[in-house]
Amino acid sequence: MRHTISVLVENKFGVLARVAGMISGRGFNIDSLNVAPTHDASLSRITIVLKGDDAALDLCTKQLRKLVNVVEVMDYKDGHISRELVLVKIRADAKTRPEILQIKEIFRAKIANLAHDSLVVEVTGDEEKIAAFLGLLEPFGVLEIARTGSLALTR
């Protein structure tokens, strides 16, 4: 089962390593890891997406709460908003560019860079939207992809 966990931590050296180490030490493979300061500069939010059963995840969240510098741990099950940002560089010549731009409009994506033979497109959305967008762009020739990983907040 796929889980999204948010860990509010003190913004101090070594906290990320302790959190990630504890999770990997419990046998979880981290699918996505995102860290950034919050509105309070003394705190950071670590958003982790991982797969595992509920019992193991419950033990993992309990142990996270015991770590020094951890302020709060939330397991987002229901009632949360999750988004990811993707930058994708696509091969685009004069013939294929109009079709790519049409796909971009459908997904409310933005052009981040326009070159003679390629486009860099920025799209934000949930995992399903991102997968659908990338699937439609695949035939044009994806040159590079950069993804942020999931971010989440409760509704």
Phi, psi (5° rounding) for residue 5?
A: -120, 140
* Mean pLDDT computed over every residue of the chain: 93
Domains, the chain, ranges and CATH? Answer: 2-77 (3.30.70.260), 81-154 (3.30.70.1150)
Asked if pLDDT for residue 98 goes beyond 80, the answer is yes
Of the candidates 84, 83, 79, the one whose C-alpha atom is nearest the C-alpha of residue 154 is: 79
Give per-residue pLDDT as tens, 54-76: 888 888 899 999 999 999 999 88
Its pTM stands at: 0.84
Distance CA 121, CA 102 (A): 12
Over 90: is that where the pLDDT of 46 sits? yes
Q: Rounded to an integer, what distance in angstroms lies between the CA atom of residue 18 and that of residue 24?
A: 10
CB 4 within 8 Å of CB 49: yes
